[in-house]
Amino acid sequence: MKKLVIYLVTAVFLSFGFSNVASAAGNTHTVKQGDTLWAISKKYSVTVQQIKSWNKLTSDKIKPKQVLKVTGASAKAAAPKKTAVKAALSTKAYKEIKVKATAYTASCKGCSGITYTGINLKKNPNAKVISVDPKIIPLGSKVFVPGYGEAIAGDKGSAVRGNKIDVFIPNKQRALQWGSKTITIKVYK
C-alpha cells in the first residue's frame, strides 16, 4: 500500500511539473529569422504594444533566438473575448484623424520591399500596411482606412510627416489611381 501511495504522489508531481513547463512554453515565443512583432502579435492574438510592454522593448527591432513573452499576467487578458472587443468598439475605442492619404508600392527603384517593422511586402503583396508618422499614429496600431480597409501601421517614411499616411498597394497602376485624398481614418486603441 505504501508503494502505491508513493507511486501516485510521484505521478501527480511529475504531471504537474510537466504541465507547468508546457504552459510556460506557451507564454513565450523564440524569434526566428524573418519574424516581426506584427506577425508574432497576430499569431498570439495580442497587440504589438502588449508584446513591447511585456518585454520592455523600446523599438520594433527583434533578433533571431530572442525569447519574447507573448502573454501578460493571464492569457485571458491577452486574448479578450469577441463580445468585449465589440463592446469596446461600440464605446468608441478608437480615435478619428483627418489625414492626407497617398499610395506607394514595394517595386520602386531602390525600394527593398521591407517595411520599418520588418514586413516583407514583396513576399506578402496582399498585406494591408500603411506608412505613418509614429508621433501621430504608433507603429503596430490597427487602422481603418476608408476605401482601403483595416490595415496595420507598419512602416514610416521620410515624406510621411504629421497627418499624412501612405497606403501600400502592390500594383503601381492601382497605386497611381489611388492618387491623393483627404480622408478620416480610425486608429484603434
The residues spanned by each domain of the chain are: 2-79, 94-188
Question: Looking at the predicted structure, is the pLDDT value of residue 10 above 70?
Answer: no
Summarize the confidence of residues 41-46 as an average pLDDT: 82
Averaged pLDDT, 43-59? 84
Q: Which amino acid is at 185?
A: I
pLDDT at 35: 85
Q: What is the pLDDT of residue 177?
A: 93
| Rounded distance between C-alpha atoms, residue 181 and residue 189, angstroms | 24
Per CATH, domain 2-79 is 3.10.350.10:
yes
Give the pLDDT score at 159: 86
For the cut 50, the answer to whether the pLDDT of residue 54 exceeds it is yes
d(CA 125, CA 114): 11
Of 9-18, 23-32, 65-74, 139-148, the poorest mean pLDDT is in 9-18
Q: Which residues pair with 131 in a beta bridge?
A: 155, 166
Which whole number is the average pLDDT over 110-131? Answer: 88
The fold of the 94-188 domain, in CATH, is: Barwin-like endoglucanases (2.40.40)
Confidence of residue 75 (pLDDT cuts 50, 70, 90): very low
Q: Distance between CA atoms of 84 and 97, rounded to whole angstroms?
A: 24
Q: Are 187 and 97 in contact (CB under 8 A)?
A: yes
State the pLDDT at residue 111. 80
